[in-house]
Amino acid sequence: MNRENLWKIIALIELCAIATTVILDLWMPTLVIIGLMIVSLRIRRQPITTVGIKRPQSWLRMIGFTFVCAFLMQLFDVGLVMPIMNRLTGKTIDYSGFASLHGNLGQLLLILAISWTLAAVGEELAYRGYLQKMLGDLFGNSLPGILLTVALSSLLFGMAHTEQGVTGVVVTTIDALFFSWLKWKFGNNLWASVLAHGFDNSIGLIVFYFTGPIYGLW
């Protein structure tokens, strides 16, 4: 067995471990996957840049572009995806995990901090960073390989949000496709998806604080 095939087998084992962690919701999946990432990079003797952490050509351009995109993505979710899913399933997205957020400034600040750390940075490292790297090792960098990598990583990301119900899974899967597109648009730079993820969550949380849950615009 040559070295390349050996690394592909190891990548497949890692992928199975990630999928099992997500599907069975073991402990805190994001932290478990990041732990696997650290071990994987050490074994391969690879730097963190291999999962997309690198300096962008222009922070200002990236911040501005990802903020606008995140705002438009929020409108797309509440204006189209949620209403369609509400009618198809007869159920709305489950926001019970944010029941005490409306009008609670302390809760808003706490969840915003968690949103930018565990969610934006942590989930992007886990799903758009490490997971997409493993899938890329398996499927290659051709267009079909990239599409399959993005599709599978986005589906697993959606499945990691089953507590929000089927609508939540669909919304987060679509969001993951959007974050992946931004990452590739900026030259496979993970900071683009981190910023978009953080802005997307922040906009939703701030609106929730002022208005309460919004299940769709129609």
Contacts of 62 (CB under 8 A, 6+ apart): 56, 186, 189, 191, 192, 195
HSE value, Cβ hemisphere, 13 Å, CA-based, for 171? 32
pLDDT of residue 65 exceeding 70, the answer is yes
Instruction: Give the pTM.
Output: 0.94
The enclosing H or E element of 91 equals none
Give pLDDT tens digits for 12-42.
999 999 999 999 998 899 999 999 999 999 9
Local confidence band at 1 (pLDDT 50, 70, 90 cut-offs): low
| Nearest-angstrom CA–CA distance, 80 and 205 | 19
| Domain coordinates in residue numbering, the chain | 3-211
Give pLDDT tens digits for 97-153.
998 999 999 999 999 999 999 999 999 999 999 999 999 999 988 999 999 999 999
Give pLDDT tens digits for 73-98.
999 999 999 999 999 999 999 999 99
pLDDT at 3: 76
Contacts of 81 (CB under 8 A, 6+ apart): 170, 171, 174
Question: What radius of gyration do the chain's Cα atoms show?
Answer: 18
